[in-house]
Amino acid sequence: MTNLPIISGKRLLKVLLKIGFVVIRQKGSHVFVEDKTRSLRTVIPIHSNEDLGKGLLRTILNDLNLTVEEFIKLL
């Protein structure tokens, strides 16, 4: 099992936009993204340049049906 990288919410959003997700709305510092082809949605917190916790990042990846290995390849 591969370790999760330490990544900020801004960088995660850039990666998701690159692979086809779109921002559907934003409320405060939380950005809601969606991939309409696979009907996947999640929320990404963007709090200045703070890194996401490993548990939160794992939850977001599970919401998007991405494995850690696939995510690392996208980085």
User: Given this model, what pLDDT does residue 3 score?
Assistant: 86
- Domain with 64, as residue range(s), is 9-74
Beta bridge partners of 27: 30
**Is 64 contained in some domain?**
yes
* Entry pTM: 0.88
**Is 2 contained in some domain?**
no
**Is 3 contained in some domain?**
no
Whole-angstrom Cα distance, residue 11 to residue 23? 14
pLDDT tens, position by position, 4-63: 899 999 999 999 999 999 999 999 999 999 998 888 999 999 988 899 999 999 999 999
Domain containing residue 44: CATH number? 3.30.920.30
User: Given this model, what pLDDT does residue 57 score?
Assistant: 94
**Is 58 contained in some domain?**
yes
Q: Is 1's pLDDT higher than 70?
A: no
Beta bridge partners of 22: 34
User: How many domains does the chain contain in total?
Assistant: 1
Length of the chain: 75
User: Given this model, what pLDDT does residue 24 score?
Assistant: 94
Whole-angstrom Cα distance, residue 36 to residue 55? 25
**Is 53 contained in some domain?**
yes
